């Protein structure tokens, strides 16, 4: 599987790191590492996230929960597209 990140997902990761690093740079680094480690597990278990029932095609849009964070991704053949990332206290991002 090839994991690809949308520009929005990259922006989300940078935004989360910046927000956390204002108070604790070490925590920001740790959280970013945990997110990337969890996302990389999709290489082995691409369907480990739960289906997003309100998606146009729930079988290919999934949410992976890593700690307090949600990673929304798309299964597309041999590719996994990371669509968005957000903390559980944020308003859920749309598709």
Give the predicted TM-score (pTM) of the model.
0.89
CATH number of this structure's domain 2-87, picked from the four choices 3.30.2310.20, 3.30.390.10, 2.60.40.10, 3.30.420.40: 3.30.2310.20
- Cα–Cα distance measured from residue 72 to residue 93, given in angstroms and rounded to the nearest whole number: 9
Instruction: Quickly state the pLDDT bin for 95 (edges 50, 70, 90).
Output: very low
The 10s digit of each residue's pLDDT in 31-57 is 999 999 999 999 999 999 999 999 999
DSSP secondary structure, the chain, as one string: -EEEE-HHHHHHHHHHHHHHHTT-HHHHHHHHHHHHHHHHGGGT-TT-SEE-TTSSSTTTEEEEEETTEEEEEEEETTEEEEEEEEETTSPPPP-
Residue % of the chain over a pLDDT of 90 = 89
């Amino acid at each position: 599987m090839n994991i690809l990140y949308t520009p929005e997902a990259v922006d989300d990761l940078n935004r989360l790191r910046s927000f956390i690093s204002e108070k604790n740079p070490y925590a920001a680094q740790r959280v970013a590492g945990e997110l990337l480690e969890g996302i990389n597990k999709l290489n082995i278990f691409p369907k480990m996230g739960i289906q997003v029932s309100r998606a146009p095609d729930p079988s290919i849009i999934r949410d992976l929960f890593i700690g307090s964070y949600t990673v929304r991704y798309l299964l597309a053949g041999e590719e996994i597209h990371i669509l968005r990332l957000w903390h559980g206290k944020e308003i859920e991002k749309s598709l």
